[in-house]
Chains A and B, each alone.
Chain A
Amino acid sequence: MKTKRARFITSLITYAVLIILFIVLTVMINNKSISRTLKGQLIPICSWIVMAVSLNLVVGISGELSLGHAGFMSLGAFSGIVTSGWLLNGFAMEDPTLRLLLAIVAGGLVAGIFGALIGIPVLRLRGDYLAIVTLAFGEIIRNVMNCVYASVDGTSLHFGFLNGALPGTLLLNGPMGAVKVKTISTFTAGFLLVMFALIVVLNLVHSRSGRAIMAARDNRIAAEAMGINITKYKMMAFVTAAVLAGMAGALYGLSMATLVPTKFSFNESINVLVFVVLGGIGNIPGSIVSAAALTILPEKLRFLQNYRMLAYAVLLILVMLLSNNALVKSLIRRINPFGRKNRGEEELRA
């Protein structure tokens, strides 16, 4: 466990590194000295980072396994697209920045409501029930979104289920998903969302509520005996994560010209979980690094063609093995300026 001071410095470094990276990348984009593929990936990377950070809040900080995080992303993406289309067509709101902001807020709101609805019954239970229900939730959302039609006619929104015959301009077209989306997401917005998610999660973790969430994770019985309402704090972590995932979804959805509901499958939920596990459970900066690296990696492996996903899997296994290797660990500790302090503590314990 890092001391308070080391923790403060780690947070500060994380913020600083992200800001520097953002400035460097913006300069590179302006100089056109960045590859087209990487440039196209910047916004998805931002959304996956937010996804990983928010899932880490559930899996790492609150200690519950959630397997349907892509479901919240899906809800956020499609409600963001509908909001943006509604504002553009119904109210002639041309300003893309304001529209994007409102779409992201709407995405977060819708995902948060669903997070609360699932959390209320499930978080009262113990054990692996949350994992099972969220897994089912992700699949249900994917299948339901496949049948949802939405259109905007004047200033009113119309929704149809299994029925695409709606008046006005079609925004969601059932299994075809969202088509002809006006892509209004920008890298700056993505960066700001990452910073927002990071501030929310880190500040939450290092506050009274965050300590209660971790206490409930570490020892449920003791936390209850100390007067901590377990359900309330599990709920807080779960809904916050759902809201952030919805926001990430809205950002993601509005960066693509077309988006099909089947995109947000179980595989994507597992992918986000892989980011979290690889970056370190409970380690927020680690989630950012692994989300970014693992989003770029499959693209970089394209030259392997059919063997791409095989190589990806092998690389994941290698990273897992190496990061648990005592030799590699001690090497990292030597390089890391905070490592020495941790080693000292371990010696003290021995």
Chain B
Amino acid sequence: MSETKRRQMTPMVPYPSGAIVPERDLGSMPVLECSHLGIDFGGLKAVDDFNVIMGRTEIAGLIGPNGAGKTTVFNLLTRVYQPTRGTMMLEGRDMGSMTTVEANKAGIARTFQNIRLFDNMTVEENVRIGLHNQIRYGMFSGILRLPQYWKAEKKQHEEALELLNIFDMASMADTRAGSLPYGAQRRLEIVRALATHPKLLLLDEPAAGMNPHETEELMENIIRIRDQFQIAILLIEHDMNLVMGICEDICVLNFGRIIAKGTPDEIQRNPAVIEAYLGKQKEAQA
């Protein structure tokens, strides 16, 4: 399909950059605003002209066939890759020169498609790493065990357990993270990301490897997290039940470009999306 034709097929949307901002967020500053974001690897345009606006408490989905560039978008948002083009704003703050660490401190937390837990640490310690910049004390208070140390450690412990309770995981606090079952590891990654007190949570295939029952539970939990923490959630997922079930706004990516945007209903009827997933019908058959 030609470039111009693909652009024409992108549906008209009510917002200049293309996203539908939830009604409750109208008037307030969007949590994330990307315009014309892109990155090249050599001659390959891995992501190009990526525009998105996310409201403060919006749940949005990023879908697309394998290799479409979804995880690359996450890596751009968390500044693992520095974008070649375009700008990113987090709550109106330009993220132009931020590193991964600064992006997290500014309020973007993520989980990973291939789970990246600290395997040799306990579940609680994993969450405490997330709390690293939230509840702090210096190296010397730690070595000398000053009152600050005991106070902060107690606070970290309490908050870690509170966060683990979201997924009923408090009883596993002392288990080695690497020895958890797969589903629990995915949930722990979400808890650890939440511990960094993000404004925007990026979930990379949170339901991968979960059974339908677990996925159902996860959907409820994602909505509960949004309501409880009042944060925006952007998720990559191949499980269409989950995406269509909880996302208010969906963005479809193919070959690094946005081919469609809209509500779940609009996306399901969009011919460009159907073509990207199922291929084009031959003229003769049509």
Contact = CB atoms under 8 A, between A and B. Distances in A.
A219 B116 contact: yes
Contact of A218 (B78, B119, B122, B139): B119
Interface stretch (B58-66, B103-111, B218-226): B103-111
Contacts of A208: 128, 132, 136-137, 142, 152-153, 156
Contacts of A335: none
B45 interface: no
B143 interface: yes
Interface in A1-54: 1, 3-4
Nearest to B181: A349
Nearest to A200: B143
B91 to A, nearest CB: 17
A207 B119 contact: no
A211 B142 CA distance: 11
Contact of B117 (A222, A224, A229): A222
A227 B174 contact: no
Interface string A203-219: 11001111110110011
B192 interface: yes
Interface in B92-110: 99-101, 104-105, 109-110
B112 interface: yes
A224 B101 contact: yes
Of the four ranges (under 10, 10 to 19, 20 to 34, 35 or more), the interface on chain A belongs to 20 to 34
B179 A223 contact: no
Contacts of B125: 211
A225 interface: yes
A348 interface: yes
A75 B65 CA distance: 59
A225 B128 contact: no
B129 A212 contact: yes
Nearest to A201: B143
Contact of B101 (A4, A211, A219, A229): A229
Contact of B143 (A204, A215, A349): A204
B121 A204 contact: no
Interface in A213-258: 214-215, 218-219, 221-230, 236
Contacts of B99: 224
A-B pairs with lowest CB-CB distance, top 5: A207-B142, A227-B104, A222-B116, A1-B176, A218-B118
16 contacts: A1-B120, A3-B174, A204-B139, A208-B153, A209-B139, A211-B121, A214-B118, A223-B118, A225-B78, A226-B130, A226-B192, A227-B105, A229-B101, A236-B139, A345-B175, A349-B179
Interface of A: 1, 3-4, 199-200, 203-204, 207-212, 214-215, 218-219, 221-230, 236, 345, 348-349
